[in-house]
Structure 1
């Protein structure tokens, strides 16, 4: 019998820089999450400042991971993972299916759908109580201040002696938003700006 000859594997197409950057960010995040979990498991009550500091670190690391993913997104979108023939598929079947999975896991899909359904049901502009409260606050705040000394554009022109054509303020184009209130609220709650 002849010994099996191993064919050399070409690693030139592997995005080593991107994968190493992601591995570093994920290792840092995993370490911080483990530390936070250990603080929660501590029988003595952890001081809130310590928890807040740890959460701040985790949020910073999540931001760093997100920016790393976006900076290498073009490389990662083109990269295809596949096992080598020598990979022990029978012993590592679970790991292999997890690594090659392209769809989100069912629980992640469920979280996304739940979040979407909760946030789309809430439309702030339809809430009359909040609208009435905001109007009351505006009137109350306006009454606290003495607004004097302001002039309209027409009064300023007359005071300066400008002989420009009289412009009616009502004729000026109103500033219009290219997004509706619902679209703005949807963006604020879901991060989605589709029209």
Structure 2
């Protein structure tokens, strides 16, 4: 049996200090939530979350760096170790399974994660997406017909008075032309034309276009990129404790 060198002992002590810092951060968060009658403020919760996240990241880096040492190290208490006075520490170091409370916590976390994955929003169904594609063009066209294009003011702004519009722009804005002038010009042109000059005109009936919903093919959405499954709480805790 070989003993650990100074670097390996230093890495173990460093990991112990990191775990102690993580434990302190978790205890501080629990005390702030349980002791105060109201929930802590959002900045306080964000500070706790940042500290815990940084501690977890540092522990993960340390376990990855010293993975070979931690995976091959075996706890073997020496005869000089006070087993009776520090029996709790000895039992903790020699334990090969998780504590019952920790196992229950991991099972509860896995159950919550499974329920969240099942109830996650998957987007619109095929029927709803097809209905949306059929409704959107007509709705957009109807909304566009309510506006007067080719100017810098909307119909609502013209009705309320363009002198009340405050844009902050230095350039002179263009006011849309009046429809009455255009209609009068069109009527004058039609009055000048007589039947004797033009003769009979063929008429063509125009039927409204009613596309068949079944024949309409909606635009195809781009394929979703594959995502890696979420790591289970048991695997995450095992990696944090053993580095594997």
TM-score > 0.5 by shorter chain: yes
Q: 1:71 aligns with which of 65, 88, 100?
A: 65
Q: 1:188 aligns with which of 230, 234, 239?
A: 230
Change (3 A) 1:136 1:97: farther
* Structure 1 CA distance for aligned equivalents of residues 224 and 39 of structure 2: 52
For structure 2, the 5+ residue unaligned runs are 141-222, 236-244
Q: Residue in 2 aligned with 1:84?
A: 78
8 Å Cα contact 1:28/1:61 also seen in 2: yes
Matched length: 149
1:96 has 2:138 as partner: no
How far off its partner does 1:76 sit? 0.1
Q: 1:109 aligns with which of 98, 103, 106?
A: 103
Q: Residue in 2 aligned with 1:31?
A: 24
Change (3 A) 1:108 1:17: same
8 Å Cα contact 1:119/1:189 also seen in 2: no
Change (3 A) 1:86 1:119: same
For structure 1, the 5+ residue unaligned runs are 1-9, 146-174
Q: Which has the larger radius of gyration?
A: 2
The within-5 A match list for 1:150-161 is: none
* Structure 1 CA distance for aligned equivalents of residues 112 and 28 of structure 2: 32
Change (3 A) 1:18 1:138: farther
TM score, norm. by length of structure 1: 0.55
* Structure 1 CA distance for aligned equivalents of residues 53 and 128 of structure 2: 33
How far off its partner does 1:50 sit? 1.5
* Structure 2 CA distance for aligned equivalents of residues 67 and 137 of structure 1: 50
How far off its partner does 1:79 sit? 0.5
Change (3 A) 1:44 1:80: same
Which has the bigger relative contact order, CA under 8 A and spacing at least 6? 2
How far off its partner does 1:45 sit? 5.6
Deviates further, 113-122 or 30-39: 113-122
Deviates further, 72-81 or 14-23: 14-23
1:17 has 2:59 as partner: no
Q: Deviations over 1:142-189 (max 9, x none)?
A: 8599xxxxxxxxxxxxxxxxxxxxxxxxxxxxx998x7xxxx57x136
TM score, norm. by length of structure 2: 0.46
Change (3 A) 1:51 1:71: same
